[in-house]
Structure 1
């Protein structure tokens, strides 16, 4: 059946914004669709405008149906106030702020808090819980349930980033505790994958029901050559500009 739901994660760095778009199928099968880098200062409104336009563009499935990104999480650990401003404007499109929380046995996504100056919902993310999911999924070797499809557009550096950490066990007062340590300086692909998984968890989607709905869509007369969903350029005025 392929991609049924699309989610995204956004990481904020000193000189750029990075966005990862992921497609989710039945039985936890997953497709990495695009990793986009927007270079510039996160203090610039224009940079956030580029991100907004990107997140609002639909994606065309191989069966000809268009899907929009259903949920996006933006990490609020850097340029926090700019993140709050952005998600406040983009809230109607299910774009929310997040904050990574350490510790084992935490839920993938916790109850949001609004105890911030902007009064926006900030969702706590169980980073260790979700990194455990990432590394368990990467062990699945055959396409099907729980398999992750990585396209050729994701180069070796991206794959190194995805596997840039490893789990270690620490002991505190006789109690074992899992931590992830960096093996390489850059880990953006891993962090973005965690955010995309958390976005999907927020939706609480029954993929079997979604698949049944999409099966009713008539297949195109000509089979599309693109095996992965691809982005459709949005010609409409951007949401952020229309609502200033």
Structure 2
């Protein structure tokens, strides 16, 4: 927390988790052609956030081991209850994106937020498109801090339109996944890639909530709480896009890595975080090694009847203590 105190002039938060630095996310943005599906992508999903007067959608490409790329972010102005808005949303969800080699990709699944003031409109929109895996969803209450699976474990039975209900998502677990992914420093399993279309405002929305730890010992609870003054549409869209991936895997038994092989997705350089530490110490490891210690001369032989008068060559306790400290 040294940077948090000394550089950002903020007090230490004893009961909060490690926060994601927006500046770090901006610095890691990558350049790829707009509208092009990156080579590592195997499948596309979408997260749809319903606001009072607009609909926001993020299209996310998923690769091996849930590595991801933000492929597109789109905003449709208008109320969800307006037929023109629903038509525009439906048309967008049927868009085709292309990889650099010309391979086409469409959205395989989407989760659509049914909260707010347009619940019935979202329900009707989803019910008419269940065959395309456009799911109406609702996030669980985050107040208790309890972690349910991102996608319900129990496989739902056939639903008629009369008994249709939204899917209850484990949003706390989804936000945990996103936070962990944003804290990764190297491409590979779970890493999230962003293009230079993302800036400070967009990343502030993606990191609009933080962990708050309440209680002690066995009663300790980790809760997600909003950061005052920040909009959270991009966080919600990413939660829903990830939930759509989990729903796709659960309902179709899709194997993501196998799917990546089938579509010829590129294998990114996957490296464990601990290797980064090794890379950082590479300079010292490859520098000129220190000269080996000169062995001490052996003491002259003595008679068995007389004890050796040669002094000790060093303090054993000090040598032992120094060795332990070097390993700490």
Short-chain TM bin: 0.7 to 0.9
The structure with the largest alpha-carbon Rg is: 2
* 2:41–2:63 Cα contact (<8 Å) kept: yes
Q: Tell me the alpha carbon deviations over residues 50-91 of structure 1, each in whole angstroms, 9 at most, x when there is no partner.
A: 000000111112232111101001011121100011001111
* 1:19–1:37 Cα contact (<8 Å) kept: yes
What are the residue-to-residue correspondences of 1:80-229 with 2, within 5 Å? 80-101=119-140, 102=142, 103-110=145-152, 111=154, 118-171=162-215, 175-183=219-227, 184-204=229-249, 205-215=254-264
Deviation at 1:173, TM superposition (A): 11
Deviation at 1:92, TM superposition (A): 1.7
Match in the other structure for 2:269: none
* 2:204–2:230 Cα contact (<8 Å) kept: no
Q: Tell me the alpha carbon deviations over residues 4-57 of structure 1, each in whole angstroms, 9 at most, x when there is no partner.
A: 010001111111011110000002210011111111122201101100000011
| 2:114 maps to 1:76 | yes
Greater strand share, structure number? 1
Change (3 A) 1:173 1:80: farther
Q: Residues of 1 paired with 2:261 and 2:53: CA distance?
A: 43
Match in the other structure for 2:45: 7
Q: Residues of 2 paired with 1:126 and 1:114: CA distance?
A: 22
Tell me which moved more, 74-83 or 173-182.
173-182
Deviation at 1:186, TM superposition (A): 0.5
Change (3 A) 1:129 1:26: same
Deviation at 1:105, TM superposition (A): 2.6
| 2:62 maps to 1:24 | yes
Deviation at 1:96, TM superposition (A): 0.8
Match in the other structure for 2:103: 65
Change (3 A) 1:161 1:154: same
Select the structure with the greater relative contact order (CA < 8 A; seq sep ≥ 6).
Answer: 1
TM-score, normalised to structure 2, is: 0.62
Change (3 A) 1:174 1:206: closer
Q: Residues of 2 paired with 1:104 and 1:193: CA distance?
A: 20
Aligned residues: 216
Q: CA RMSD in A?
A: 2.3
Q: Residues of 2 paired with 1:114 and 1:56: CA distance?
A: 25
| 2:80 maps to 1:38 | no
* 1:114–1:120 Cα contact (<8 Å) kept: no
